[in-house]
Structure 1
Amino acid sequence: MTQARRRIRIGLIGAGMAGQAHAFGYRNASMADGLRGVRVELAHVVDVFAPLAQDVAERYGFERWGTSVDELLADPTIDAVSVALPNSQHLDVLGRVLASGKHVLTEKPLGMDGAQAAQLVELALAPGREGAVDAVGFSYRRLPGLAALRDAVADGILGPIRHFETTYYCAHAADPDDPFTWRFDRATSGGGALIDLGLHAIDAVEFVVGPITEIVGARFQTAISERSDRGGIRHVVTNDDAAALLMVAGDGATGTLQTSRIAHGKPNSLQIAVFGANGSASFSTEDLNQFTIHLAGGDARFDGPRRVITGPLHGAYPDVSSFRSRGVGTGYGEAFIAQVQAFLRCILDGTRMDSDFAAAATTMRILDAAERAAAQGRPVVLEGAGA
């Protein structure tokens, strides 16, 4: 590999919280042994709000800042672009990034529905993009504890998975006085709690258990029907505050998913538990540096799940921990480092990312299926999953 290929210049579109998490990831990507010697250069950040773009440029070390996406994309020295924008802008901006031929890593969701996701997959596979990486940031799958669950299932330690449950609860919209924003408007968000939060839980199921093949039933709830914007104008909330799904995944395992943005006492909590023929395992972001596992058949007097503290044997831990020692721990920010590291490896190796546009389009089809199941009151089988 030439030295020129080992320099990757990055552009960032969107300088909000998610965009800054991407910048944090790039700043620390070289922690991984496999990326030693790779020069990651933060070239250009843009945001519609110029002071924010300038602030992020100065704090994270971008060479330039501005408000023009076209100007960023016209720079031939930029190799890869991260996109962190509101859902309604994904189809337009991602389409332009793909047309530029640059590698792209975007925040989820991939568009606002399955149709937009399918368009973006088609654009990602268009002539002229051969060798270009397209990826969607499902950062939670980079957490060592969740990766350990996936390994336990993939290695057959728990036996065939019979059933599972997952939840993603958040309290960010629990106060009815919280102002109306684009997140409460279906026309600009594509959905509510399920697309914003539950999509991570859907990805966790597919990551750990296997493909979701059927939505048996679904129910959506809007508990706070109106909100005032910052100017005091009242708006109708047109998407879901909470959602519940019954589904089938993997080799026929049944499971439930519940998500809520109005869950008092839950600042931000993703949880998944899997139950197999030989044992069970669970992980929660509330206990980020551990997971539990139980193997059947032991001494009944001391039977029960045991807590395992994560360390270098679990997922991306050795690539993101500042001390490569078990028990030191990693956090949410390190998941973004690991996500960026995976993206950069794919660029350097010419491989596809495990969370590429095609994979992310599947999660969008699952969202569509959940909405059909709720509207029609009957199960919906995912395309390609059989009759």
Structure 2
Amino acid sequence: MSDRKPLRVGMVGYAFMGAAHSHAWRTAPRFFDLPLQPELSAVAGRNAEGVRAAAGKYGWDSVETDWRRLIERDDIDLIDICTPGNTHAEIAIAALEAGKHVLCEKPLANSVEEAELMTAAADSAAARGVYSMCGFSYRRTPALALAKRMVDAGRLGQIRHVRAQYLQDWLSDANAPLTWRLDKEKSGSGSLGDIGAHSIDAAQWITGRRITGVSALLETFVKERPVGGDFVGLGGHGATGEDVELGPVTVDDAAIFSARFEAGAADGGASDGSAPDGSASDGGPIGVFEATRFALGRKNAMRLELNGTKGSLAFDFEEMNSLSFYDAAQEPDAGFRRIQVTEPEHPYTGNWWPVGHGLGYEHVFTHQVVDFVNAISEGRQPSPSFAEALQVQKVLAAVEASATDDSRWQKVQP
């Protein structure tokens, strides 16, 4: 038994994200020296049989069939929200007002208005020592965290271009069944919010610049899908035939937009526009973003490339343990070189395996837990905060507004 003070977790939702979060809460204290000891106290879900099965499989001590019971319990310190976006605001606000820390999956909400209410509740709770964080887990990929470190150190100089893609193919089969992710009322948006939000957050976080305006195009390739059935992957799922009931797809299948980032100091200075040497600020990078779940052959290609005045960085999550770097001064004729991000000095990696032994998707959630627990123990606001997630929500809203107005340039709400 650990002599550390327990951090008793109650999780709402137990499907895909619930499995990933459960693994992270169990694993984090076994590989990292945490100041608090996470305990998997209770998991909540509406289906009694399903939530009991999940509790047994993932190692939760007890179950609830109403998330409100989790918040009422005195033996719960933190609420982990792994449910569809239309439920985030109600659960998070209630939990924060009850004095529970909150980890909420992304995107933060289904609208800017909901995200603003959540951020206000988070700010109020933080003043009482109750903290919240949004689960943009890709920030905890060691290679992307290294990219952030290199940009902050000025290795790329003044950022000029940002290219971000998130490519998947799991909806390419038109017979894939209609799920909650294809229902705008529940999910808020399709590829834009589901995966594009990760690209937006990563680009803003690594560059230290907010997106200020966008011009966008959204497309829904398959307008109707079979109702019912379980999704198992491309091919061999769904139903066909004249008797199959079809329901409308009310979200985007693909999103494309160009973006302008806010101005900042040239050559790696502060992103508030004030260069250390007093030089003029740049005009802000330009960016291109793409998110789709119809790119056949691409399973989870979350890509990001930055081009600056001194160098470039490129990353692809399908090769998540490496980062490509081009240094214009040292290697003008050599092109990109590959950094294997498995050294002990690289972010997070020193707590895992010997050099050269790569990490996987599940590790980013473990790193998320580590960062959140450390922030709670130290009494500081973790990142990404709800305020940072609200900024992403504002970009999502601007993209949708632009796409419904013939791709007209749309300013992001300040």
Does the 8 A contact of 2:214 with 2:398 survive in 1?
Answer: no
Q: Unaligned stretches of 5+ in structure 2?
A: 230-243, 265-283
Structure 2 CA distance for aligned equivalents of residues 126 and 262 of structure 1: 41
Does the 8 A contact of 1:179 with 1:229 survive in 2?
Answer: yes
- Give matches, 1:51-200, under 5 Å: 51-126=49-124, 130-200=128-198
- Give matches, 1:240-319, under 5 Å: 240-249=252-261, 251=264, 252-298=284-330, 303-311=334-342, 312-319=344-351
Cα distance, 1:291 vs structure 2: 0.7
Cα distance, 1:341 vs structure 2: 0.7
Question: What is the aligned partner in structure 2 of residue 21 from structure 1?
Answer: 20
Matched to 2:101, the amino acid is H
Give CA-to-partner distance per residue, 1:144-177, whole Å, 9 cap, x none: 0111111111100111111110100111211100
Structure 1 CA distance for aligned equivalents of residues 51 and 349 of structure 2: 31
Structure 2 CA distance for aligned equivalents of residues 135 and 216 of structure 1: 26
Q: TM-score, normalised by structure 2?
A: 0.87
43-52 or 192-201: bigger deviation? 43-52
Cα distance, 1:344 vs structure 2: 0.7
Does the 8 A contact of 1:164 with 1:256 survive in 2?
Answer: yes
Question: What is the aligned partner in structure 2 of residue 336 from structure 1?
Answer: 365
**What RMSD in Å do the two structures reach over aligned CA positions?**
1.8
Cα distance, 1:97 vs structure 2: 1.6
Question: What is the aligned partner in structure 1 of residue 251 from structure 2?
Answer: 239
Matched to 1:23, the amino acid is S
Matched to 2:409, the amino acid is P
Give CA-to-partner distance per residue, 1:220-255, whole Å, 9 cap, x none: 011111112127321121211001010122530111
Question: Per the alignment, in what secondary structure is the counterpart of residue 28 of structure 1?
Answer: helix
Cα distance, 1:131 vs structure 2: 0.6
Structure 1 CA distance for aligned equivalents of residues 214 and 29 of structure 2: 44
Structure 2 CA distance for aligned equivalents of residues 215 and 277 of structure 1: 23
Q: TM-score, normalised by structure 1?
A: 0.93
Matched to 1:295, the amino acid is D
Give CA-to-partner distance per residue, 1:234-281, whole Å, 9 cap, x none: 112121100101012253011100000111111111000000101111
Structure 2 CA distance for aligned equivalents of residues 80 and 184 of structure 1: 30
Is 1:220 matched with 2:250?
A: no
Cα distance, 1:369 vs structure 2: 1.0
Does the 8 A contact of 1:215 with 1:245 survive in 2?
Answer: no
Does the 8 A contact of 2:126 with 2:381 survive in 1?
Answer: no
Structure 2 CA distance for aligned equivalents of residues 306 and 142 of structure 1: 22
Matched to 2:334, the amino acid is D
Cα distance, 1:100 vs structure 2: 1.6
Matched to 1:246, the amino acid is S
Cα distance, 1:201 vs structure 2: 0.5
Does the 8 A contact of 2:219 with 2:253 survive in 1?
Answer: yes
Structure 2 CA distance for aligned equivalents of residues 216 and 355 of structure 1: 22
Does the 8 A contact of 1:171 with 1:266 survive in 2?
Answer: yes
Question: Per the alignment, in what secondary structure is the counterpart of residue 124 of structure 2?
Answer: coil
Matched to 1:167, the amino acid is Q
Structure 1 CA distance for aligned equivalents of residues 37 and 290 of structure 2: 42
Structure 2 CA distance for aligned equivalents of residues 297 and 139 of structure 1: 33
1:261–1:128 CA distance, 2 compared to 1 (3 A): closer
Cα distance, 1:348 vs structure 2: 0.8
